[in-house]
Amino acid sequence: MNAAARPGQVASPIDWQAVRADFPLLQRQVHGKPLVYFDNANTGQKPATVIAAVDDFYRQHNANVSRAVHQLGSEATDAYEGARGKLAAFLNVRADELVLCSGTTFAINLVAYSWALPRLQAGDTILVSRMEHHANIVPWQLVAERTGATVRVAEILEDGSLDLDALYASMTADVKLLAVAHVSNVLGMVNPVREICREARKRGIVSVVDGSQAVPHRPVDIAAIGCDFYAFTGHKMCGPTGTGALWARREHLQAMPPFLGGGEMIKEVSFEGTVFNDPPHKFEAGTPNIAGFVGLGAAVDYLSTLGMANVEARETELLAHLTEELNRIEGLRIFGRAPDKAAVVSFLLEGAHAHDLATLLDLEGVAVRSGQHCAHPLLQFYGVAATCRASPAFYNTHEEIEAFVAALCKVRKLLG
């Protein structure tokens, strides 16, 4: 790789073959064929530096955080809090506004149960877009059931983009919370979240942005977006599973009650009552995934060195090539055709079930996702039960796109 670049900057040209060599798993074969890993919207692969950071933590520094005064305890705490600091700088926020957690699902549930549940009541509305992942739908349904609030759907257009006029018209006085994806995990649509959150703020609506598919693939400046809450997942951004964070405005974190009770989220406990810790630690009960966050810190270092603008440019280039090749295949339908897209392509091949297609592609060494992608309402909009989803990342190659398309054409013939 090159000299370090800030996350949003374009550095000097990247040697993408050298970058690819940083990812050990990409060197393996599947069913005797070179692996083509196009399931990055599901989870990203890990560079050797991330794997080494986790290994080194367990070999050299393993201890619990914030509990011991011995050397190992201090080292573990410094590494854990260091990861928080790296994430904050990466996303242009304050470290004390980042709650470290297991990922986006936990983060959104934290907002649902700690912010929304105590505040919403009958007559209030939660506005959710049609393209949301279940993690940004189900928690709001649970809150609505318990409070008497209503969940309202913000619809999309046929090309997969949000119907912004209808969205803004739906921001009526009864709407208290808006939940929207930064990038769709099925369609790859990039929503204009800065504009959307500005319109919500004008109307006094609290905004929650699901950043799972954005943070790994493009520069993200949370402060510039202007939302109230932003959730993201570590395992999609080259980090270990079981990691992620919720960013929230400081005033929200101070006003919200704890979601979980236990160790570390307290200052003092007696049978007469408990004094809770300051945010963000107020929301981090119990022993965290310390090694995972050490690995996530290493992932942030890796992505920062690449430069997220370089990552975005590379994936845009791969997406253009992939889309061009798929457009040549007769009977193939791509879902989501709006111009501003991340490198996610959901598709169906006429006469082939998505699961059959993915299974046969796997035999050719190609890993794609098939199913409903935790987005049932979105697929219902298009009238389909399942799709295949190909999602390349910056470490994939143009040669892999050619291999994928060749495998797809071969499978098409097998399916008749």
Q: What are phi and psi of 86, to 5 degrees?
A: -65, -45
The rounded distance, in Å, linking the Cα atoms of 226 and 209 is: 10
Nearest residue to 252 via CA among 98, 84, 115, 99: 115
Q: Which residues of 298-322 are buried (b: 16+ CB within 10 A; e: fewer)?
A: bbbbbbbbbbbbbbbebbeebbebb
Q: What is the mean pLDDT of residues 10-16?
A: 76
Q: Helix, strand or coil for residue 244?
A: strand
pLDDT score for 275: 85
Looking at the chain, which residues constitute the CATH 3.90.1150.10 domain(s)? 16-42+307-414
Model confidence over 273-312: pLDDT tens digits? 888 888 999 999 999 999 999 999 999 999 999 999 999 9
Q: Please write down the long-range contacts of 328-335, taking CB distance under 8 Å and 24 or more positions apart.
A: 328/405, 329/405, 329/408, 329/409, 329/412, 331/412, 332/408, 335/160, 335/186, 335/187, 335/382, 335/384, 335/387
Could you give the dihedral angle defined by the CA atoms of residues 106, 112, 113 and 115, in that order, rounded to the nearest 10 degrees?
120
Residue 20 tokens, joined: 């690819």
Exposure string of 153-164, with b = 16+ CB inside 10 Å and e = fewer, is ebebeeebbbbe
- Going by pLDDT thresholds of 50, 70 and 90, the confidence category of residue 416 is low
Q: CATH homologous superfamily for 16-42+307-414?
A: Aspartate Aminotransferase, domain 1 (3.90.1150.10)
Does pLDDT of 73 surpass 60?
A: yes
| Per-residue pLDDT at 267 | 84
Helix/strand/coil (H, E, C) string of 290-318?
A: HHHHHHHHHHHHHHHHHCHHHHHHHHHHH
Average pLDDT across the chain, whole number:
94
pLDDT at 6 over 80: no
Which of 137, 121, 221 shows the shortest CA–CA distance to 179?
Answer: 137
Dihedral class, residue 224 (left if φ above 0, else alpha if ψ from -120 to 50, else beta)? alpha
Tens of pLDDT, residue by residue over 182-235, are 999 999 999 999 999 999 999 999 999 999 999 999 999 999 999 999 999 999
pLDDT at 164: 98
Cα 69 to Cα 76, 78, 261, 390: the distances in Å are 11, 12, 23, 48
H or E stretch covering 360: helix 354-363
| Cβ–Cβ < 8 Å for 241, 212 | no
Residues 6+ apart with CB under 8 A from 255: none
Question: Cβ distance 51 to 241 under 8 Å?
Answer: no
What phi-psi label fits residue 374: left (phi over 0), alpha (psi between -120 and 50 degrees) or beta?
Answer: left
Cβ atoms of 207 and 201 within 8 Å: the answer is yes
Pair 156, 130: CB distance under 8 Å: yes
Phi and psi angles of residue 2, each rounded to the nearest 5 degrees, phi first: -95, -175
Taking the C-alpha atoms of residue 141 and residue 139, their distance in angstroms, rounded to an integer, is 5
CATH number of the 52-304 domain: 3.40.640.10
Residues catalogued as catalytic:
374
Q: Give CA–CA dist 303/244, Å, rounded.
A: 15
Distances in whole angstroms, Cα of residue 144 to Cα of each of 96, 140, 250, 255, 356: 30, 6, 25, 21, 38
Question: Are 212 and 232 a contacting pair, CB within 8 Å?
Answer: yes
- E-state strands within 47-129: 98-101, 125-129
**Separation of alpha carbons 197 and 225, rounded Å:** 7
pLDDT (tens digit per residue) in 166-184: 999 999 999 999 999 999 9
Rounded to an integer, the average pLDDT of 92-119 is 98
Residue ranges matching CATH 3.40.640.10 in the chain: 52-304
- Tens digit of each residue's pLDDT (9 = 90 or more) over 339-361: 899 999 999 999 899 999 999 99
Burial of 377 (0-12, 13-18, 19+ CB in 10 A): middle
Nearest partner of 346 among 318, 326, 366, judged by Cα: 326
Beta strands in 31-174 (DSSP E): 33-34, 36-37, 98-101, 125-129, 150-154
CA-based angle 150:153:159, to the nearest 5? 175
C-alpha triplet 291, 292, 295: angle, nearest 5°: 90
Q: Exposed, middle or buried: residue 23 (CB in 10 Å: 0-12, 13-18, 19+)?
A: buried
pLDDT confidence of residue 77: 94
